[in-house]
Amino acid sequence: MRVYQTNEIKNIALLGSAGSGKTTLAESMLFGSGIIKRRGTVEAHNTVSDYFPVEHEYGYSVFPTVFHVEWNNKKLNIIDCPGSDDFIGGAITALNVTDQAVILINGQYGPEVGTQNNFRYTEKLHKPVIFLVNQLDSDKCDFDNIIANMQSIYGQKCVQIQ
């Protein structure tokens, strides 16, 4: 791997409620960048991020996991954070060492309580946020309603980019 200058490195925390798709997104990022040759799934217990037996047992992340990808001549250090409120300490720790956050929104449910908790911590730590609506292919997903809800919760801070 090449040596990167500081301005070529971005540190990103993946945040979101449990089940919003953070670990699946991490797998896709690793696959898309060529780091792994096949995508694992949470259900098959073969993802890069969730490798502890307790995570296989619970079916969700318990510990933050750090990985990196190279993309467009930049190195992205990404931390896949647990989504359960029981493990919020991992997300707060990740936010303290990252430059920004990507908060995933489950397209089936829209912004949840965990979403608002994560956003509160990003504001407290002055971290820029990208909201990513995930699981848009679900029959239960109403994208326009999600955007309206997000704008009512977060105000004009929430801008839609397609």
67-113 tens-digit pLDDT: 999 988 999 999 999 877 778 888 999 999 999 999 999 999 999 98
Per-residue confidence (pLDDT) for residue 157, from 0 to 100: 61
Name the packing angle between helices 88-97 and 113-124 (round to 10°): 30
In a domain, 144, yes or no: no
Per-residue confidence (pLDDT) for residue 100, from 0 to 100: 95
Specify which residues 130 forms β-bridges with: 102
**Quick one: 92 exposed, middle or buried, by C-beta within 10 A (0-12, 13-18, 19+)?**
middle
- Residues (pLDDT < 70) of the chain are 1, 52, 56, 58-60, 156-162
In a domain, 150, yes or no: no
In a domain, 161, yes or no: no
Per-residue confidence (pLDDT) for residue 158, from 0 to 100: 63
Q: What is the CATH number of the domain that holds 95?
A: 3.40.50.300
Domain count, the chain: 1
Q: pTM of whole model > 0.85?
A: yes
Q: Which domain holds residue 52?
A: 6-105+114-131
In a domain, 143, yes or no: no
9 sits in the region (left: phi over 0; alpha: psi -120 to 50; else beta) called beta
In a domain, 148, yes or no: no
Per-residue confidence (pLDDT) for residue 160, from 0 to 100: 63
